[in-house]
Structure 1
Amino acid sequence: MSKKGEFRVLHTMLRVFDLERSLDFYTRILGMKLLRKDDYPGGEFTLAFVGYGDEASQSVIELTYNWDRKEPYVIGDGFGHIAIGARDIYTLCDELKAAGGKVVREPGPMKHGSTHIAFIEDPDGYKIELIQVD
């Protein structure tokens, strides 16, 4: 049996239809770094890992691009969102919109709480919640 503290979330995987468009969104729009990108010719896919810090200490996002995909993915009704903490989400949303980002829920307090949130959408339609942190 493992002890508490021996576990850590390593990454979340998202399948993407257009890898370059997704990389542009996560790096240019959201300010993440491309940590690594590997092609797997035998399996005809590419994995790109993006995040705000090193994989050794931070959770990251794995973007999986299947080379033979002809249609965009359908996001299942079980997926909710990825959450990112940020300071001043009001200004951030203005900056994201100016950079071409799609804000789908303007910043404001939660419906049943006091936490301030906003939602943006990546090129494949995945929702990203921005949570105001101080």
Structure 2
Amino acid sequence: MSLKPHDGFVFNHTMLRIKNPVVSVDFYEQVFGMTLLRKLDFPEMSFSLYFLAKLGESDTPPTDEGERTQWTFSQRGVLELTHNWGTESDADFKYHDGNAQPQGFGHICFAVPDLNRAVAWFDEKGLDYVKRPDQGKMKNVAFVKDPDGYWIEIVQPDLLGGLGR
């Protein structure tokens, strides 16, 4: 069997630009249970990168900085939050969420084991909804917004067997 050029490729991360890292990192840690894997600062270019992922109980990131960086870039399903320094101090600053015109980027997605329980959790946390599971033509799918207005789709996989049929 011959190797293909793409053998071994791993989808590692998606990047979102954020206004305030304190608010956004806390949101993804507290609401979605993600763990900050690594923060990288680039003072000469005035920005920082925050890499978060939903880790399993047996996942233990290395403590050595270099090893931890390599480990972070070998994971799957990582969310990179990019903070351009100073945006947090500008009351009028806002990133385009990709869903307003002109449309581009759409959303990220979390699969959950129990959609109703997740919705109750989001309600408790006071999240803003784009769409609740019982709204619109597509049922059993929710969309919430993160602090920067990016859309997050919420799905329960076992409820979606008939989707698109």
Q: TM-score range by the shorter chain?
A: 0.7 to 0.9
- Residue number in structure 2 paired with 1:83: 109
Amino acid at match of 2:85: W
- Residue number in structure 2 paired with 1:57: 75
- Residue number in structure 1 paired with 2:119: 93
Deviations 1:40-62 (A, max 9, x none): 11111110011113643322110
Number of equivalenced pairs: 132
Normalized per residue, which structure has more helix? 2
Shift of 1:3: 4.3
Relative to the length of structure 1, the TM-score reads 0.86
Deviations 1:6-47 (A, max 9, x none): 222110000000111101110001111111112211111110
The one of 112, 122, 125 aligned to 2:146: 122
Inter-CA distance 16–52: structure 2 relative to 1 (3 Å threshold): same
Shift of 1:118: 0.7
Relative to the length of structure 2, the TM-score reads 0.71
**RMSD (CA atoms):** 2.2
**Structure 1 segments unaligned to the other structure (5+ residues):** none
* Bigger mean CA offset, 79-88 vs 97-106: 97-106
**Structure 2: distance between partners of 1:131 and 1:120:** 11
Normalized per residue, which structure has more strand? 1
Amino acid at match of 2:154: L
- Residue number in structure 1 paired with 2:45: 43
**Structure 1: distance between partners of 2:136 and 2:5:** 35
Deviations 1:66-115 (A, max 9, x none): 00333121223111110111111111111122123223211248725xx7
Larger radius of gyration: 2
**Structure 2: distance between partners of 1:52 and 1:106:** 23
The percent identity for this pair of structures is 39
